[in-house]
Amino acid sequence: MLPLILTGLLATAPAAEPPAVPRHVVFVIADGMGLTQISAARARKGTPMFWETAEAVGLQSTWSTELVTDSAAGATAMACGIKTDNGRIGQAPDGTPCTTLMEEAITAGRGTGVVVTSRVTHATPASFLAHHPSRRDEPAIARQVLGVPVDVLIGGGRDMFPADKHALAIWRERKVTVFDGTANILAHDKTPLIGFTFEGSPPPAAQRGPTAPLALHALNLIDDDPQGAFLLVEASQVDWGGHANQAAWVMDEIDDLDDLLRAVVKAGGDDTLVVLTADHETGGLSLLGGSRTGGPVQTQFATDHHSAAYVPVYAWGPGAAAFTGVYDNTDLHAKLRAALGLGLGLGAR
Ligand SMILES: [Zn+2]
């Protein structure tokens, strides 16, 4: 009888469900992306985009100690869970450094990575990796980033890093391999890896090539870690197109971002939480006309700076439901921290 009972039990057991706690977390910041930026890209394309498949959607406020944030304070809010002054990188208004999610993930032993379409020392990635009163001092930020033991760091901006003996000694001690150019980065499959896609600032999407392969490469390099992975991706140039008041640049960056999301969510599978949001909206963009079936769209910018609008949050995978609702950017930090198993006395699980 026993085998029969066991068979019966097995037959009624529920199908395996995705784990409630993600093994890996991918956090994607589209700098300057408000609802209109993605609406415009969707209208121009005329067919569904991947972001529409989100399993959970929320809204977050973006302010810093001022109503209109910059990218340094916006990223610091999400990295550390604190409000700070515009321009500050990973520190409180009084200059006290704050512990970032990336630093916590490194301490917890997770596989960690950063992939951006700006210089790696630019405000958003810098706020997860460094602590400085001014985002503008990128050479000083680079000197800090040199020594951060993140497993994979990919983006532009080699020109901000010193090439002196001291810097090379730090990389040698960390056993870091440094590669230049996307093809070389993609051909290398060991960590720790620093990959400079461009010597300075990467060009717009149309000239620099797709970001999805770089993000996938980074995820593949770190997701074997027994503690799980934490990957930060920034679609940096949605913001730059907004500052330039060039809607086509903005929409091209959203297209690049959408391809990246599709690739990462698919590759991540059932055990990976992917969260997409922005640090703020850029340009006060309006979508005023176009066709429902794709083609040119009419847009208008209200400013060449940031606006104070709430920004959307999209999530896929285990734990996605926690990102539903309306909350502050510092609350987003808490949600990510919980998803990473940090601050719960669990370490990295
Ligand atoms: Zn900006």
- The total number of structural domains in the chain stands at 1
Identify the band that residue 3 occupies on the pLDDT scale cut at 50, 70 and 90.
very low
Tokens of 49: 């985009």
Instruction: Please tell me the least confidently modeled range out of 5-14, 99-108, 269-278, 303-312.
Output: 5-14
pLDDT beyond 90 at 2: no
pLDDT beyond 80 at 14: no
Note down the domain range covering 254: 21-142+209-339
Contact residues for 345 (Cβ-Cβ < 8 A; gap 6+): none
Identify the band that residue 163 occupies on the pLDDT scale cut at 50, 70 and 90.
confident
pLDDT tens, position by position, 223-259: 998 899 999 999 999 999 999 999 999 999 999 999 9
Residue 246: give its domain's CATH number.
Answer: 3.40.720.10
Residue 161 forms part of a structural domain: no
pLDDT at 171: 92
Distance in angstroms (rounded) separating the CA atoms of residues 73 and 58: 21
Q: Do 230 and 340 form a contact (C-beta atoms < 8 A)?
A: yes
Residue 105 forms part of a structural domain: yes
Identify the band that residue 4 occupies on the pLDDT scale cut at 50, 70 and 90.
very low
pLDDT at 17: 58
| Mean pLDDT to the nearest integer, 44-59 | 98
Residue 327 forms part of a structural domain: yes
Identify the band that residue 15 occupies on the pLDDT scale cut at 50, 70 and 90.
low
How far apart are the CA of 338 and the centre of ligand 1, in A? Answer: 28
Q: Can 39 be counted among the known catalytic residues?
A: no
For the chain, what is the mean pLDDT? 93
Residue 232 forms part of a structural domain: yes
Catalytic residue among 71, 118, 201, 307: 71
Identify the band that residue 286 occupies on the pLDDT scale cut at 50, 70 and 90.
very high
Residue 171 forms part of a structural domain: no
Residue 59 forms part of a structural domain: yes
The CA dihedral of 211, 212, 216, 217, to the nearest 10 degrees, is -40
Q: Do 230 and 112 form a contact (C-beta atoms < 8 A)?
A: yes
Percent of the chain with pLDDT over 90: 89
pLDDT at 170: 93
Q: How far is CA 344 from the centre of its chain?
A: 23
Residue in 97, 109, 77 with CA at minimum distance from that of residue 141 = 97
Which residue type does 172 have?
R
Residue 162 forms part of a structural domain: no
How far apart are the CA of 72 and the centre of ligand 1, in A? Answer: 9
How far apart are the CA of 70 and the centre of ligand 1, in A? Answer: 6
How far apart are the CA of 275 and the centre of ligand 1, in A? Answer: 21
pLDDT at 109: 95
Distance in angstroms (rounded) separating the CA atoms of residues 112 and 24: 10
CA distances from 318 to 10, 41, 270 (A): 25, 28, 7
How far apart are the CA of 236 and the centre of ligand 1, in A? Answer: 9
Residue 26 forms part of a structural domain: yes
Which residue type does 9 have?
L
What pTM was computed for the model?
0.93
pLDDT tens, position by position, 296-345: 999 999 999 999 999 999 999 999 999 999 999 999 999 999 999 986 54
